Amino acid sequence: MKYGFFKENISLVFTLLSAVILLFLIAPLAGLFLSLKAPALFETIKDPAVSESIFITLLISSLFTLAAAIFALPLAYLLARKRFPGKGFVEGLIDIPVVIPHSAAGIAILGFISRDSVLGSIAAGAGLNLVGSPFAIGLAMAFVSIPFLINSARDGFAAVPLRLEQAARTLGASGLRVFTSISLPLAKRSVVSGLVLMFARGMSEFGAVVIVAYHPMTTPVMIFDRFNSYGIDYARPVAAIFIAVTLIIFFLLRVYQKR
């Protein structure tokens, strides 16, 4: 009899279960904003260090997302269209940054750009120190977030009908023309979704970034620094402002994506 109730009212059951998970997502954020004190919030809004941190975080994440797309989209297309030895290994390799601890990712990036490495020694010869630089922050952000772009774009390219590309080739279109005129436009929704996910994951990264560059401070690092130094009341306004800014940005990006 109980089973019959669930069977006949599956929509109601799913609605209740959905409400629970939505409440789980909303409750912590609502608690954060409701616990804010107006004087502390306005003081944090006027703090130039906070606004500079948010600007740096958004700028570096967006620049490295666009830069990574130049290399990630061709790889995503090859994975969607070609069969080659070791393809499964490559696909597994792409997902490694998602599954390893991000502190470990930061250690790996640090070794990659330190003065003892090839890249670090070349930069040192030019008078540059990559450790603790915006470049190091961008590398850390891109390393942990690029799988989202590659996987989303690969699925988008795979959904493009192969016959359309073949027809264009029979009409004399070059491979580059087919990619830019057919494959990329038809996979645009998935590509944009991957870019948004990569940008979001990159700007929210803490574990890898804090190892390669404590300064200049990204906002996640600043939230941790203020919490660790002064407590939750000092960190809460920064977290709330950053969440509000990101919500506005992603609302606009989602509106663009749907259009």
Q: Are residues 232 and 113 in the same domain?
A: yes
Mean pLDDT within 172-194: 91
Cβ-count burial 96-134 (b if 16+ within 10 Å, e if not)? ebeeeebeebbebbbebbbeeeeebeebeeeeeebbebb
**What is the token pair recorded at 16?**
């209740």
147 in Cβ contact with 97 (< 8 Å): yes
pLDDT grade for 14, boundaries at 50, 70 and 90: confident
8 pLDDT exceeds 90? no
**What is the token pair recorded at 186?**
């038809």
Please state the domain count of the chain.
2
Mean pLDDT within 97-113: 93
Q: Give, rounded to a whole angstrom, the gap between the first and last alpha carbons of the chain.
A: 47
Given this model, what pLDDT does residue 13 score? 82
Convert the pLDDT of each residue in 189-204 to its tens digit. 999 999 999 999 999 9
Given this model, what pLDDT does residue 2 score? 55
Q: Are residues 30 and 54 in the same domain?
A: no
CATH number where 85 lies:
1.10.3720.10
Mean pLDDT within 2-12: 68
Mean pLDDT within 16-22: 94
139 in Cβ contact with 111 (< 8 Å): no
Q: Which domain holds residue 183?
A: 43-258
Convert the pLDDT of each residue in 33-83 to its tens digit. 999 988 889 999 999 999 999 999 999 999 999 999 999 999 999 999 998
258 pLDDT exceeds 80? no
Q: Are residues 118 and 187 in the same domain?
A: yes
Q: Are residues 66 and 15 in the same domain?
A: no
Average pLDDT over the chain reads: 91
Residue 226 class from Cβ within 10 Å (0-12 exposed, 13-18 middle, 19+ buried)?
A: buried
